Amino acid sequence: MNKDIGKKIKTLRQSKSMTLKILSEKSGLSIGFLSQLERGLTSVAIDCLNNIASVLDVDLTYFFARQKNNDSLIMKSYEQEVSQIVNSKVVYYHLSQNLEDKVMLPKLVTVLPYEGNEEIVTEYSHEGEEFIYVLEGILTLYVNNREYILYPEDCVHFNSSLNHNWINNSNKNVKMLVVNTPNFLKKDNLN
């Protein structure tokens, strides 16, 4: 794994025409350490890797992503990877390979319990449609300033132009299947 991470760091650094010296100055890590890291001769702590990710303008998960078999129609459960973590409370996993050429964006979403008194939930809207199927836990969903409570096996399908958001007000994780259109990762949507 150290060699894979080191190779990714070196490739990113060189693609940005950045020297080891510049990466060292911006990350606060020594040139010698970074050189050894890029050659796979040493391991790196997550906080140091996070500093490097920040300097190289990538998400920390970039360094842990495995090469996918793009010829496969099937995604095995062990191939699912974290695609995004939002506010340390919501974890997204993409549930399909070759998302660049698909219309729908299927995700497995885990929402951790909210720890606090009362949180103001800011609703937002976007283009397309949204489908949510609750697998476990109790989800509080807001659509157009209206609150809905969804239990396991409950689902909802709505136009994403409606203001919406969700929160987990329980003391257990909420796990749900979410499918969005349009797929913002689709090649023609990236431009």
Please state whether the predicted TM-score (pTM) of the whole model is above 0.85: no
The pLDDT of residue 65 is: 65
Tell me phi and psi for residue 120, to 5 degrees. -85, 120
Structure tokens at 175: 């796990």
Helix (H, G, I), strand (E, B) or coil at 79: helix
Q: Which helix (H) or strand (E) holds 53?
A: helix 46-55
Assigned architecture for domain 2-64: Orthogonal Bundle (1.10)
DSSP string, 103-117: S-EEEEEEEPPP-SS
The pLDDT of residue 27 is: 93
The pLDDT of residue 131 is: 97
Question: What digits encode the pLDDT tens for the residues 144-164?
Answer: 999 999 999 999 999 999 999
CATH class, range 77-189? mainly beta
Average pLDDT, the chain: 86
The pLDDT of residue 187 is: 65
Domain ranges of the chain: 2-64, 77-189
Residue 32, C-beta contacts closer than 8 angstroms, at least 6 positions apart: none
Per-residue tens of pLDDT for the chain, all 191 residues: 567 888 889 988 998 899 999 999 999 999 999 999 999 898 888 889 989 999 998 888 778 765 555 556 788 777 777 888 887 788 888 888 777 778 888 999 999 998 765 567 788 898 999 999 999 999 999 999 999 999 999 999 999 999 999 999 999 999 999 999 887 776 665 54
The pLDDT of residue 102 is: 82
